[in-house]
Structure 1
Amino acid sequence: MTTQTLTFAAARSRAHGPTTALWHAVEVHRAPADLDGACELTVCGTLARVTTEAHWPVSGVDVCSACTAAS
């Protein structure tokens, strides 16, 4: 039996119109070292750029509530 560890990475979305940029969770199925800062599909369905400087969960008021609840 194989055990799979679920890992989340932090990703920052872009601000669009009246919305602000938010931190999102990205479910990672590969080594964190393989993340290259490209845009990834987040837990809530948004495209956001993964960052290796921040770790999920990110604290603050600019965090996606859907990603927080799902992770």
Structure 2
Amino acid sequence: MMLQTTAFAAARSRAHGPTAALWHAVELHRPPAEVDSACELTVCGSLARVTTEQPWPLQASDVCPACAALAR
């Protein structure tokens, strides 16, 4: 039997006009050292820069609600 676990990393998006920068979740398929500071597709479908310094899930007020729901 194979046990599969999903690992997520935190990623910060850019602010776009009236939209604030948010924290997003990125599903990791590579070692964290390979994705640090890279732009990746997030769980909700936006692009954001990955940071391995922040754990996911984040306890912050500026977290993407879609990522928070999908990356449980």
Deviations 1:46-71 (A, max 9, x none): 00000011011011110000000001
Q: Report how far residue 10 of structure 1 moved.
A: 0.1
Q: TM-score, with normalisation over the residues of structure 1? A: 0.92
Q: Distance in 1 between matches of 2:52 and 2:36?
A: 9
Tell me the equivalent position of 1:35: 35
One-letter identity of the residue aligned with 1:25:
A
Deviations 1:10-61 (A, max 9, x none): 0000000001000000000111122231100000000000001101101111
Q: Distance in 2 between matches of 1:10 and 1:69?
A: 14
One-letter identity of the residue aligned with 1:33:
A
* Unmatched 5+ stretches in structure 2: none
Tell me the equivalent position of 2:70: 70
- The aligned length equals 71
More strand by share: 1
Q: TM-score, with normalisation over the residues of structure 2? A: 0.91
Tell me the equivalent position of 1:11: 11
Q: Distance in 1 between matches of 2:51 and 2:29?
A: 15
Q: Distance in 2 between matches of 1:33 and 1:49?
A: 13
Give SS of 1:55's match: coil
Q: Percent of counterpart pairs with the same letter?
A: 70
Task: Out of 25-34 and 13-22, give the one that drifted further.
Answer: 25-34
